[in-house]
Amino acid sequence: AIDIGDLRDQSGFITLDRGFKNTGSTKSAITFLDGENGILRYRGYPIEQLAEKSTFLEVAYLLIYGELPSQPELDKFLQEIRIHTLVNEDMKKIFDGFPINAHPMGILSALVCSLTAFYPESVGDMNPEQEHLSIIRILAKMPTIAAWSYKNHMGHPVNYPKNRLDYCSNFLYMMFALPVEEYEVNPVIADAMNKLLILHADHEQNCSTSTVRLVGSSRASLYSSVSAGINALWGPLHGGANQEVIEMLESIKADGGNTNKYIEMAKNKASGFRLMGFGHRVYKNFDPRAKIIKKAADQVLTQLGIKDPVLDIAQQLEEAALHDEYFIERKLYPNVDFYSGIIYRALGIPTNMFTVMFALGRLPGWIAQWKEMRESKEPIGRPRQIYTGYTERNYLGIKERK
């Protein structure tokens, strides 16, 4: 890598790299990713070990503060999060302003952004205590906002957090409990959610994370920066792919389950169709997260006694693509989103909440990257361009124009 960080903006030297395929935007000590060999590590720890042995909030601590917590550190962190799970009652009025069929991602981004208005000291420079409080607040409140965005969509009354529950169980309770019947969180479901969130927790300078850093570089608040990240994540080429995958698998099933037809369509550029959940900007051999998720999907479906025909279609598609020249040449393999939707469905999470689940998982990564960017005193992000428009020309009055 060549570091051109010292060149002044008057140097006349501009690199053009559309989509930043080979451009590093920063130095970072958070996540190591080797796309050729399918390696992903958070702060040095392999994703496989963390997914198997850790918990989501422990991983969040690791990403944000750089080290795995000791027991007292973890206890303090969990307790701080627990006491901040409520959101200001006035926020409910904002929920009420959304139409009933509003997408939960739209509600989530708006409500997370509105936290800046509730905590205005979060804009600009903050002392370490204020910064820490912003981090705790967003970690604690985002599951409440996410669950309430779903309740709003369903037209159901919201559930207030139950702080004796762990992070994932509390979210599931707020999402699914209804006033008309008892709700017990199924530990299989809470464990699977925990694993999925860990797998999504950070992925270095992807589209949404770069957005968080770029917005944060103006010293915008953590809430505004994360809200911008949520919007970037919503797009179907990024986090929105998990919803698109399940919708694609459903339509293949409805169309008779002919996977070859869809493989052929994806190869034909004129069709405009892409196999959702396939391909990755960085992984060119396999996505290590997809391997773990595929195994977890099998386990969860078995444990919950669910037979999902869509899983068979997913496996057929993967198998067909693995042996097809088009996919081999372009190194297109299933990515993290290919199997995550199948698990979310088995857990009872509705399709339009899939990307919200991704956002909950990615939150610690966004926070860690925002914090690192501030601590390393990065300058405001301001890319240049190669201008391709007109040279100078004179203004014409409206009657003189053709």
Chain contacts with ligand ACO (rule: CB under 6 A):
19, 237-239, 241, 266, 274-281, 330, 332, 335-337
What single-letter DSSP state applies at residue 32? Answer: E
Instruction: Confirm whether 280 is a catalytic residue.
Output: yes
Q: What's the min distance (Å) between Cβ of 191 and ligand ACO? A: 22
Q: Is residue 96 within a helix (H) or strand (E), and if so which, with residue range?
A: helix 91-96
**Residue 251's closest CA among 276, 234, 278, 280?**
276
Instruction: Confirm whether 337 is a catalytic residue.
Output: yes
If the CB atoms of residues 195 and 238 are measured against ligand ACO, the closer one turns out to be: 238
Q: How many CB atoms lie within 10 A of CB 73?
A: 14
Tokens representing residue 203 in the block: 């992925």
Coil, strand or helix at 41: strand
If the CB atoms of residues 329 and 400 are measured against ligand ACO, the closer one turns out to be: 329
At CA 128, angle to CA 218 and CA 120, rounded to 5? 55
What is the separation, in whole angstroms, between the first and last Cα of the chain? 51
Block residue for tokens 């007292």: 72
Q: What's the min distance (Å) between Cβ of 123 and ligand ACO? A: 29
Residue 366, Cβ density class (10 Å: 0-12 exposed, 13-18 middle, ≥19 buried):
buried
Give the residue nearest to ligand ACO (CB): 279
Q: What's the min distance (Å) between Cβ of 24 and ligand ACO? A: 16
**Active-site residue, selected from the candidate residues 200, 203, 238, 280:** 280
Q: Is residue 343 within a helix (H) or strand (E), and if so which, with residue range?
A: helix 336-346
If the CB atoms of residues 177 and 212 are measured against ligand ACO, the closer one turns out to be: 212
If the CB atoms of residues 237 and 328 are measured against ligand ACO, the closer one turns out to be: 237
Q: What's the min distance (Å) between Cβ of 80 and ligand ACO? A: 29
Residues designated as active site: 280, 337
